[in-house]
Amino acid sequence: MRKNIIAGNWKMNTTLPEGLALAKGLNEALKGKTPNCDVVIGTPFTHLASIAAAIDTTKIGVAAENCADQEKGAYTGEVSAAMVASTGAKYVILGHSERRAYYHETAEILKTKVGLALANGLTPIFCIGEVLEEREAGTHFEVVDGQIKDSLFELSPADFGKIVLAYEPVWAIGTGKTATSDQAEEMHAHIRATLAAKFGNQLADDCTILYGGSMNAGNAKELVSKPNVDGGLIGGASLSVENFMPIIEAFDK
């Protein structure tokens, strides 16, 4: 059975004291509760170790938002997958559209990052998604298939089984313009069929596929009610406990 996951992606927001307060607040809000999904927070590198030490990481997984495409050495300013893992983080968000667009991360670079993340015991949350022009041109399925094939299809089935996918249509990120639940479901079902053709039905069925893009307390329940939508990757609405908790609770019966 695949897992349901609600993951926050804080992006480049919060100072360390602010981030710590947010993480502790979420930890407090989850005390005595057993959500029907795994909860993850993706934080800046600078916050990982302090946050992992301050919260119950059996209840809230900690994610980095990136890692280097090199193992170690003379790469000034980079943070390796091993360093991320040593903080207590268990996940790493890779291939976010902001990193693809602003930092020129190619499919090849991402393939390397995924390999290093896995080698260091991290679970990659691998992001895919088309831009508006691609959706309007009707090439969105092809684009997303290409992103998956080019970075993940050389993985062994055992390694592929460790990947979480996040479908984030770029036109829905930070725009307040969420994909409809039908659009999300259509793409997620398509992705699952692509995975089944390569890795077989079982692995495809077991793969957690998150939706991301203007997900919030108001639309989360409808999105996760779809059979192929296994949770969300949430930006803006993950920056306060008040906005994030109801998204976690969208899985409550």
> Where do contacts with ligand 13P occur on this chain (CB under 6 A)?
9, 96, 168, 173-174, 212-215, 233-237
Nearest approach in angstroms of CB 117 to ligand 13P is 16
Closest CB to ligand 13P among 9 and 123?
9
Q: What is the DSSP string of 157-184?
A: HHHHTT-EEEE--GGGTTSS-PPPHHHH
User: Could you say which of 47, 65, 96, 98 is catalytic?
Assistant: 96
d(CA 220, CA 168): 14
d(CA 24, CA 132): 37
CB 59 within 8 A of CB 33: no
Nearest approach in angstroms of CB 21 to ligand 13P is 20
User: Could you say which of 130, 134, 168, 185 is catalytic?
Assistant: 168
Which candidate, 22, 5, 2, places its Cα nearest to that of 247?
Answer: 5
Closest CB to ligand 13P among 27 and 97?
97
Q: Is there a catalytic annotation at residue 168?
A: yes
Nearest approach in angstroms of CB 156 to ligand 13P is 27
**DSSP collapsed to 3 states, 68-113:** CCCCCCCCCCCCCHHHHHHCCCCEEEECCHHHHHHCCCCHHHHHHH
Closest CB to ligand 13P among 117 and 199?
117
Nearest approach in angstroms of CB 235 to ligand 13P is 2
Closest-by-Cβ residue to ligand 13P is 235
Paired tokens of 81:
């997958």
Nearest approach in angstroms of CB 237 to ligand 13P is 6
CB 120 within 8 A of CB 79: no
Closest CB to ligand 13P among 115 and 213?
213
Closest CB to ligand 13P among 157 and 174?
174
Task: Report DSSP state, residue 3.
Answer: P
Q: Is there a catalytic annotation at residue 18?
A: no
Please, what is the angle between helix 140-152 and helix 107-119, to 10°? Answer: 50
Catalytically active residues are: 96, 168
